[in-house]
Structure 1
Amino acid sequence: MRAIGYSEFGIAGDVLALHDVAMPEPAAGEVRVKLVFSGVNPSDAKARGGTRPGVLKPPFDLVVPHSDGAGVIDAVGAGVDPARIGARVWIWNGQWQRAFGTAAEAICVPSEQAVALPEGASLEAGATLGIPGLTAAHTVFGGGDIAGQTLFISGGAGAVGHNAVQLAKWGGARVIATASPNAFERVTDAGADHVLEYRAPDLAAQILSLTDGKGVDRAVEVEFGANAPLLAEVVCANGTIAAYGSQLDMAPTLPFGPFLFKAITIDIVLVYILDPAPRVAAIEKLLAALSQGALTPEIHEIMPLEDAALAHERVMTSGRSGAVLLKI
């Protein structure tokens, strides 16, 4: 079968190549998914580039990247109900700690990692749910019911943030988001009650004014280090920061005093290693929102499998309006 892979770290165009690999066969407890779309995420590009500290070479002789994808189950291993054959599914953790991910014509994964798509939900949408979807669902709902709360969503135009805005509004929250001015309309259309310029010098004052000085109950944060001082001001007493990124400052100095005297909870989110119970809860939220038409993941661009290197470049370019997919 056709698969995109790499055997050394480097620039996408230098190391990603089309390979002919054996069609995988499902082991006990696994299903094989004939993939239609592969979701490309910044984490995939970073892993391929060798940017993780202390990791000097790929963990396998050939790595087929990408953790997200969607397709149709065409075979099952021992112990899996044959009735699953023909089911439209989306994949989570496709390449996590494994050699072969979703940038291929097929993948075998444990049955629970192939989740049935609700009727009417597209395979394109399904290919975005593994990382952007689960991250959004867990950062929004990981602390429980949000009805009546005020949520602050940093980077509301990003793939995770845009999903989070939709999910938070669906969950009954009042949503304050940040974005660039050229994305205000998109974020408002996603459900944000207020969209603020993320670079505004008086951003904290604007947020506090919108909450009558109380602050927000929960913050979904894409740049934790850079925004820690802001969060110390705008998160209310006993509030929570659900942080899933800190690219601009990976070793931040935190204003511990303000955090302490508000008893702010910092929840660092990495969906790859979610425990089973919160993962199931996040999946259930995604499926319910999709079924009710409350979540429409944005797709920025769909490219052919052979353009994987270009897709890796695109996903690392600022200004995207949604996910980047490969069509298998």
Structure 2
Amino acid sequence: MATFDPRTGEIMRAAWYSRNGEAGKVLEFGELPTPTPGPGEVRVRLATSGVNPSDVKSRQGRPLASERVVPHSDGAGVIDAVGTGVAQARIGERVWIWNGQWQRPMGTAAQYIALPQAQAVPLPANTDFAAAACLGIPAMTAFQAIHLLGDIAGKTVLVIGASSAVGHYVVQLAVYAGASVIGTVGSTQKAEHAMAAGAQATIDYKQEPVAQAVMAQTGGKGVHAIVDMDFSTTVQLLPQGVLRPHGTLVSYGSNAYGEIPVPFRDLLFSSASLRFFLVYDLCRADRERAVGGLTRLMEDGRLTHAIGARFPLQAIAQAHEAVEGGKLIGNVILDIPPE
């Protein structure tokens, strides 16, 4: 585990919160001790930090398990120190990070982070640090969702929130897997974004009933699969035939938790499959598959990244507010200041 060595006197700039609440009221910017990597760990000098909806939700209401939380799980930078048991050759390596702040208080909204070496993944030379800060949650979520669908070549996939950070990657990966994609969006600009990623058609859920539009676009047959970001509303589409018999719905989130009614009879008589997963909690095999797959896609130049806005670290409150606003198309990135 990373430690803070008071003997070194080294400090870093960082952002944190010590209580839940609104971004502008609880997020602070200042100096903290620079971490020292423990056994099996690396320390990364961060260049970027990715801001995700889950980071915002944690700051708003997830109980703190420590005195303060340096937020964000995604980021990228260069390894500058290693702990015992880690090859010295890793120093100087460009890397991207996953699960930086998962079940730990020190995330990527800082100049440095120390974490287990497996969580610092070598970054292909053709991918910059801003794009790399989009990988840990958005791209990994998309990769696992497509993996859980199985063989989708020649099939039709409905992507809920096709212009979102995750949805943008889901569309690309589904198309690469040979599927046709219909995406739900909330504006003309978001429709254009989804189409540019490879969607064959879009549905503006604010302007037309999604179920009716899907049935019209599929000749009344429904889609073979759904990748879903909000199970609490998407489940309401199932009794309307949106998912054809023997189809699969993969869900990675919901705007409402607790008890959500499920149309069991419709699911049973259509032999439908429901799959759920939490990207923070992937098993080792799934994590390694996603890391390897994303690396190959980046090396081949086949993965397109969307940066919606960039903020300096000290403007972290504005970055969180931008994510909360939901109007940006693309990921929100913090640029970490140099020494």
Specify if TM > 0.5: yes
- After TM superposition, give the deviation of residue 210 of structure 1 in Å: 3.2
The yes-or-no answer on 1:273 pairing with 2:284 is no
Structure 1 residue corresponding to 2:123, chosen from 117, 126, 134: 117
Structure 2 residue corresponding to 1:141, chosen from 132, 135, 147: 147
Task: Give TM-score, length-normalised by structure 1.
Answer: 0.94
Distance 2:311 2:146 in 1: 30
The yes-or-no answer on 1:224 pairing with 2:231 is yes
Which letter does structure 2 place at the counterpart of 1:217? H
Distance 2:24 2:307 in 1: 23
The yes-or-no answer on 1:185 pairing with 2:192 is yes
Unaligned runs of 5+ in 2: 1-11
Distance 2:292 2:238 in 1: 29
Q: Which residue of 1 aligns with 2:91?
A: 85
Which stretch has the larger CA shift, 99-108 or 311-320?
Answer: 311-320
- Per-residue CA distance 1:136-182 (angstroms, 9 max, x = gap): 11112223333222211011111111111111112221111111241
Structure 2 residue corresponding to 1:94, chosen from 75, 97, 100: 100
The answer as to whether partners of 2:149 and 2:250 remain within 8 angstroms in 1 is no
Q: Which residue of 2 aligns with 1:284?
A: 292
Structure 1 residue corresponding to 2:34, chosen from 13, 20, 23: 23
Query: How many pairs align?
Result: 323
Which stretch has the larger CA shift, 203-212 or 175-184?
Answer: 203-212
Q: 1:239 to 1:95 in 2, by over 3 A?
A: same
Q: Which residue of 1 aligns with 2:247?
A: 239
Helix, strand or coil: the match of 2:24? helix
Which stretch has the larger CA shift, 123-132 or 247-256?
Answer: 247-256
Helix, strand or coil: the match of 1:21? strand
The yes-or-no answer on 1:126 pairing with 2:137 is no
The answer as to whether partners of 1:225 and 1:251 remain within 8 angstroms in 2 is no
- After TM superposition, give the deviation of residue 196 of structure 1 in Å: 1.6
- After TM superposition, give the deviation of residue 302 of structure 1 in Å: 0.6
Q: Which residue of 2 aligns with 1:204?
A: 211
Which letter does structure 2 place at the counterpart of 1:211? T
Unaligned runs of 5+ in 1: none
- After TM superposition, give the deviation of residue 224 of structure 1 in Å: 1.2
- After TM superposition, give the deviation of residue 6 of structure 1 in Å: 1.3
- After TM superposition, give the deviation of residue 288 of structure 1 in Å: 2.1
Which stretch has the larger CA shift, 237-246 or 108-117?
Answer: 237-246
- After TM superposition, give the deviation of residue 248 of structure 1 in Å: 5.1
Which letter does structure 2 place at the counterpart of 1:274? L
- After TM superposition, give the deviation of residue 289 of structure 1 in Å: 2.1
Distance 1:283 1:218 in 2: 24
The answer as to whether partners of 1:167 and 1:289 remain within 8 angstroms in 2 is no
Distance 1:227 1:127 in 2: 28
Distance 2:125 2:177 in 1: 21
Distance 1:250 1:36 in 2: 38
- Per-residue CA distance 1:87-124 (angstroms, 9 max, x = gap): 11110000011110000001011111011112201111
Which letter does structure 2 place at the counterpart of 1:203? V
Which letter does structure 1 place at the counterpart of 2:134? T
Which letter does structure 2 place at the counterpart of 1:121? T
Which letter does structure 2 place at the counterpart of 1:262? S
Q: 1:250 to 1:189 in 2, by over 3 A?
A: farther
Structure 2 residue corresponding to 1:298, chosen from 291, 306, 329: 306
Distance 2:283 2:319 in 1: 30
The yes-or-no answer on 1:38 pairing with 2:45 is no
